Amino acid sequence: MKKGLLITVLVLVTASLWALPSQVSISLTTKVPAFLVHGFLIKEIEGESEVAQIMGETSVGGAFNADGVSLTYAIETNVATPLVVSAVLTPFIRQDVSDPVQVGIESLFVDDQNKTPTSTERFTLLNFTPSSSGKDVYEYVLTVKANQAQVEAAPAGEYISTISIDIAPVN
């Protein structure tokens, strides 16, 4: 009896081994999160290589130059959604005085394209759709020119203009 039971158990175990799958698999899933950073591209030399960073704030001098002042605006994204980039550009305002003097903005260029304000101080800088090939950096040169006749007539002092840039999906 014991021998018969042992043979039955061996037959059942052997049969069940052949019933197990010879291959198993698992699906690995993940997502790449949406990524969008924009700001002013600052390039610095570190050692023998150039390092670029997108900064939310920066300051540029020499803005009353007759040729204007240029800075690089950059967008780094992996999102292929149509985007609109707009900016508010304030006039240059004389600092540290009780009666501030303003020097107006003569022009704003984006990559040599003159931009016209859409309303007081507001400009549409870009309408574009990033590529869908993954993360990429898009660079644009902004050039701001002060009204030179007003610069000539302005009293001495420190003047500051601010560019505030917004980016949003196209509705």
Q: What is the pLDDT of residues 106-132, one digit of tens each?
A: 999 999 999 998 888 899 999 999 987
Please tell me whether residue 45 adopts helix, strand or coil conformation. strand
Whole-angstrom distance, CA of residue 9 vs CA of residue 146: 95
36-169 CATH: 2.60.40
The enclosing H or E element of 89 equals strand 83-89
138, two tokens:
């898009």
Domains of the chain, by residue range, sit at 36-169
Average pLDDT in the 13-40 region? Answer: 80
Q: How far is CA 77 from the centre of its chain?
A: 6
Please tell me whether residue 19 adopts helix, strand or coil conformation. helix
pTM of the model: 0.79
Asked whether residue 1 carries a pLDDT value surpassing 70, the answer given is no
The enclosing H or E element of 119 equals strand 117-119
